Structure 1
Amino acid sequence: MKRSRLLILSLVIALAASVFSMTIVSAATLYGDLNQDGAIDAIDFALMKGHLLGNTELSDLKAADLDADGSVNALDYSLLKQYLLKVIDKFPADKGTEEGKKTEAEKLLGDIIFSVPGSTFQNSISVSLSTKISNAEIRYTTDGSIPTINSPVYKNPLTLTKTTQVRAQAFVNGAASGKVGTAVYICTSINTTHDLPIVIIDSYGAGKAGKEDYLEAAIMVMEPKNNQASLLQAPTIATRGGYHIRGQSSSNFEKAPYRLEFWDNKGDDAKYSIMGLPADGDWCLLSPYPDKSLIRNALAYELGNIMGLETPGYTFVEVYINTDNQPVSSSDYQGVYLLTEKIEIDKDRLNIAKLKKEDLTEPNITGGYLMQFNMMAAEPPLIRGNGWSDLELTEPDDALPEQIAWITNYIQKTHNAIHSANPSDPNTGYPAYIDVDSFVDYIIVNEMARQGDSYMRSTRIFKDRGQKLKAGPLWDFDLGFDCVAGFGWGGGGSSNVQGWQFQPMFGTNSTVDWYYTLMKDPSFQQKIAARWSSLRSGPLSDNNLKALIQRLSSPLSNGAKRNFQKWNILNTSMVGGFGTQTTQTWEQQIDILQRFVINRAAWLDTSGWKPTTTNPWGF
């Protein structure tokens, strides 16, 4: 019987080859190309026939589901036959492929045509709605809700006089037809110009954002053209989205930091690119406030980039946040921010394997994990063991018990190896568990910065599948590099050119002692000393460090003036709860930063990278 079926299948292939001409398509075509050879032809027809007879197992059922109904059946067989006979030139499922090729901005419009794209405006704006759907009436809303059969029928152009989210849906015979469309319009009373990108967030008069839930907002980004951006230029991004205050101590700053999300029509992430950064829907707006240089986080990230550490992409922006029901005004200006990528596992961010629910055995269960030591602020799920505390499993945040148990066991083995009798042994010591070079570079950046809570908070580690534990990505350096006078436990901290940040007060660490313990190992000391010497003879020479600070600060000269007109704090000592450096000008703040970096590097040159025998905190 099996031989007979094979003979029939062979005849089908031969017959199909004689009847149907071959249709060549691009390699990107998916539907109908059952053998994934880049062509839709008689072979695919035979494979479809064989699958329906139960003789052939297809490797990609999605390619055979030509009507996208979730199953492969006689209808798909008929569609493939019609395609090869040139009765049709595409499959119903190709509509989904075409939708996938649309930009996020095009998807947001759905099947509605807005006479004016989402934009800013002054005083009022008239917007007309139409659709290509035949015999349809359009219903719309202006309160952010999706239109229903009970929503107003569109008859005449809409006149908008305040920030508005217009959402519209075509209806045919009383039923929704096609995709909902959305456009946002932000009313502004000013048209200021900037040489940095502009981010406008308008919460439709809903007030200020809180620290937990996202507050819905109209969000626009204006990227500079010919080194100039204005509030009334056509936005690069005009979308619905949400934002909330982020951070720990920084969440209480008057100039608050924020988490920012771009949303599609369903409220899911809409991926947009900002200033050439890879497209995504999740972003952070970091607010340099005690950091009067405005560039300390960026400086740390650039140092990390030089060394090959994982760091978030970023760009400087100027931000307006409008929380009342009035047009955007000069009082809504919030100053210079650092817009950064959110640290997350993603092919365009932290590019490591994503752990799936079915990954319960090795090798798949070995990665990827993103974690952080976060003293007194770690959120579940936590990785608990003997020798550390406050270790948060950031991703996956829905890890299964088996996966948490596996990474907990790995972290415990790592901790034990670091504290073993022969810690540098390649088979039983820390080299068997950690990527030593990444920990070397991570310590160098943190020691250059002398951030007061280094090694205790925002201290990230990650593990990719089949690889060792790595240090990073870098995060949170706004209070380092001599930002805060005497910041650090017991009087040590960022303003001390001499001494070690890794060396714990009272001889013990509050979260983890890995970094201090590693620095006591002669083999690790040799590695970090050699690495530092190599960096200082090249990318981290005094001249290169000065050039880096100049490169970061130069584009901000005009933005800094506007920032400190908004926040008149240059000569104020206590800012955001921290005793900061006081000067008359922003340029003097840059001088303080540069002087510290050069002097700190000089001390590290002579340090030998060995812990001191006396208490580093001065008591």
Structure 2
Amino acid sequence: MKTLVVLFTALLTLFCADLFSQVNFTSSNLPIIVINTNGQTIVDEPKIMADMGIIYNGEGERNNLVDEFNHYNGKIGIEIRGSSSQTFDKKSYAVETRIDEEEDLDVSLLGMPEEADWVLYAPYSDKSLIRNALIYKLSNEINRYTTRTKFVELVVNDEYMGIYVFMEKIKRDKNRVDIKKCESKDTSGTSLTGGYLFKIDKRDGANIEGWESSFVPFAGAWQRVFYQYDYPKETDIMPQQIEYLQDFIYNFESTMYLNKYSHPFDGYYDIIDINTFVDYVFLNEFPRNVDAYRLSTFLYKDRDDINPSLKMGPIWDFNLAFGNIDYYEAWEDDGFQIYYPIPDDFFQKPFWWEKMFDDPVFANKFAKRWSDVKSTIFSKERIFEIIDSLTVHIDEAKTRNFERWPVLGTYVWPNKFVGETYESEIQYLKNWIDTRWNWFDNNISTEYSSIDWKDPNEVEINMDISEEKIISTSDFYNSLINIDSLTLVVDSENVNVNRIENNYLISSNISGTYKLKLEGWYNNQRTELSSSYTINIGVTGVNDKLLPKEFSLEQNYPNPFNPSTTIKFSLPNVGDEYIRPLQTQLIVYDILGREIKTLLNKSMQPGEYEIVFDASDLPSGIYLYRLTSGNFIETRKMILLK
């Protein structure tokens, strides 16, 4: 039924296009973008060469269609973008500023930092015209980068096309997703660990490559979650980088799959940047985005020496949010979309979202985030102020837009509400936000816990072997709210921990560097968890200038071999003045990925090592050996030839 409605809407708008294409357009308070394709048709891949001019005389100044192209006047590549939105007569476009067909051009446009890749988004089914601009502004105001926006009016081949939103494309860049470059030479050591930008999305377009998750989205599901490479591009990413990224996500999902996914050390907390995940949920749940978690979902990871944690975002594509949707009950202003089951849909969210959202530590951070912003950036007054500002800004242009595209009072897939006027569309949006805000405030706990933990660099415990030291939990925080008790946990059975009221007696007969965390408890739930603090027992300070500077796993020698070969690897010091041992594994697998032999599995100090692998009892063939140390993972091949 949905397909028939979409086809009918597309045919109707196509039939009416000529009747409404002639709009009296000579000037605007918005920037004017003029595109000339020189007789070519814009298609959905590949981009065609065209000319683009931008008339922008500055904020508050009038822009006339006869003015010179004073903001940009040059070449572009342009193609139609989007998926379901391509059925609409008003198309969105991907634009690349270019010098010529072979070379793109980084340029600052409409107050946005220099880049070459841009989007001309066409609001159509969203008759408020502002849903994307609204949530993107709110996201940036809470310091979660997403695309910057600017309303413009567009003319293509002398035809007025209406209001568009000129936006940055989501991509790796120092002014967009700011992660380290990952080039073809970065195939080992720390440089292999980032940066990566990838996503969960529809598989539209050419050369969409990636991998399927090893875990079903729900028990008995026939669907699989598909992760797509975004940066490096599928045409540029190296085999070693593919292997590293897939292994990293497999490790994360494996951790989330286990019952101990919320273990203080073995759980997910040290794999992800939990605050980015909290904000991603918040920014998708408040407007109840029907595509959240399963489409237009970006993730990224920087290089380990910058930040080893997996991060969520930026958010993207909210035209089917804020009640502008008539399926999966996403128009409702109550409930969390994260829990809504859609078992028959091809596109599913990863299984780990619900487990994470149900974790009391995550839920507590979510409640605290709402409390922090509900009286400021996400107050009703502030949100309505943004809406009013945007609607005033496009007031003149919106009249021309709806002359060109007369959709007011007409159902456009997948509208839940059909307003006869623009004012009624805006009122519906405000009413929906008002009731959604109330539901959020009534259903998110106000009794959240909060601990201002001290920076791990400020607290370090140094002890001698067999020494007993009393540690107070108050040494690890500056202040706390709604906490009944604190417990201290360590990452090794080698450390003895005994509680004495609010203090802990710590001792060990085995030297090493260990980690401790503190757990905050409220109403019989663990609601707070600190970062790791360091305990050095029988470990002296070192000058690490002679230690390796980065992880490395060398090719075995000899190779091919019979029956033994030597494997060398290096572990750097990841701490400061103290040696930091890391849990390290070296495992051999067959070509099918079955584990053959564990050569090493223990905590190891920084240094250079070599291990002899004896394969006397194995048949000839190709084998893999994988080194895992901290967040470092690298795999190489070797050939046993008898």
TM-score by length of 2: 0.61
Q: 1:271 Cα shift?
A: 2.1
In 2, Cα distance between equivalents of 1:421 and 1:600: 33
Alignment of 1:473-552 (within 5 A): 473-484=314-325, 486-488=326-328, 492-493=329-330, 495-505=331-341, 510-552=348-390
Secondary structure of residue in 2 paired with 1:430: coil
Q: Residues 512 and 376 from structure 1, CA distance in 2 versus in 1: closer, same or farther, beyond 3 angstroms?
A: farther
Amino acid at match of 2:388: Q
Aligned to 1:607: 443
Matched, 1:264 2:104: no
Aligned to 1:345: 172
Q: 1:222 Cα shift?
A: 0.7
Secondary structure of residue in 2 paired with 1:238: strand
Aligned to 1:472: 313
Of 39, 42, 47, the match for 1:214? 47
Of 408, 426, 442, the match for 1:590? 426
Alignment of 1:130-529 (within 5 A): 192-206=26-40, 208-225=41-58, 226-235=60-69, 236-265=71-100, 267-322=102-157, 328=158, 332-377=159-204, 380-387=208-215, 389-397=225-233, 398-466=236-304, 467=307, 468-484=309-325, 486-488=326-328, 492-493=329-330, 495-505=331-341, 510-529=348-367
In 2, Cα distance between equivalents of 1:499 and 1:349: 32
Deviations 1:573-613 (A, max 9, x none): 1x1x3234222221221111111112111111122379xxx
Higher helix share goes to which structure? 1
Q: 1:462 Cα shift?
A: 0.5
Aligned to 2:594: none
Q: Residues 380 and 506 from structure 1, CA distance in 2 versus in 1: closer, same or farther, beyond 3 angstroms?
A: closer
In 1, Cα distance between equivalents of 2:106 and 2:79: 18
Given that 2:299 and 2:310 are in contact with CA atoms closer than 8 Å, whether structure 1 keeps it comes out as yes
Deviations 1:27-60 (A, max 9, x none): xxxxxxxxxxxxxxxxxxxxxxxxxxxxxxxxxx
Amino acid at match of 1:472: G
Deviations 1:284-315 (A, max 9, x none): 11111000011111111112112221201211
Q: 1:422 Cα shift?
A: 2.9
Amino acid at match of 1:230: N
Secondary structure of residue in 1 paired with 2:338: coil
Percent identity, aligned pairs only, is: 31
Matched, 1:553 2:553: no
Given that 1:375 and 1:511 are in contact with CA atoms closer than 8 Å, whether structure 2 keeps it comes out as no
Q: Residues 565 and 403 from structure 1, CA distance in 2 versus in 1: closer, same or farther, beyond 3 angstroms?
A: same
Secondary structure of residue in 1 paired with 2:210: coil
Deviations 1:497-533 (A, max 9, x none): 0111111416797241232221121221111011111
In 1, Cα distance between equivalents of 2:320 and 2:251: 33
Aligned to 1:578: 414
Deviations 1:357-415 (A, max 9, x none): 12122311111111111145485331333125211011101211111111111111111
In 1, Cα distance between equivalents of 2:279 and 2:55: 36
In 1, Cα distance between equivalents of 2:332 and 2:275: 26
Q: 1:266 Cα shift?
A: 5.6
Amino acid at match of 1:280: E
Unaligned runs of 5+ in 1: 1-187, 323-327, 611-619
In 1, Cα distance between equivalents of 2:81 and 2:254: 34
- Higher mean Cα deviation, 421-430 or 562-571? 421-430
CA radius of gyration, larger in: 1
Given that 1:545 and 1:598 are in contact with CA atoms closer than 8 Å, whether structure 2 keeps it comes out as no
Aligned to 2:515: none
Aligned to 1:86: none
Q: Residues 506 and 476 from structure 1, CA distance in 2 versus in 1: closer, same or farther, beyond 3 angstroms?
A: closer
Amino acid at match of 2:120: L
Q: 1:279 Cα shift?
A: 1.9
Q: 1:199 Cα shift?
A: 0.7
Aligned to 1:563: 401
Q: What number of residue pairs does the alignment pair up?
A: 407
Q: Residues 220 and 580 from structure 1, CA distance in 2 versus in 1: closer, same or farther, beyond 3 angstroms?
A: farther
Q: 1:537 Cα shift?
A: 2.7
In 1, Cα distance between equivalents of 2:108 and 2:37: 22
Given that 1:443 and 1:515 are in contact with CA atoms closer than 8 Å, whether structure 2 keeps it comes out as no
Q: Residues 507 and 476 from structure 1, CA distance in 2 versus in 1: closer, same or farther, beyond 3 angstroms?
A: same
RMSD across aligned positions (CA): 2.2
In 2, Cα distance between equivalents of 1:305 and 1:524: 22
Amino acid at match of 1:559: A
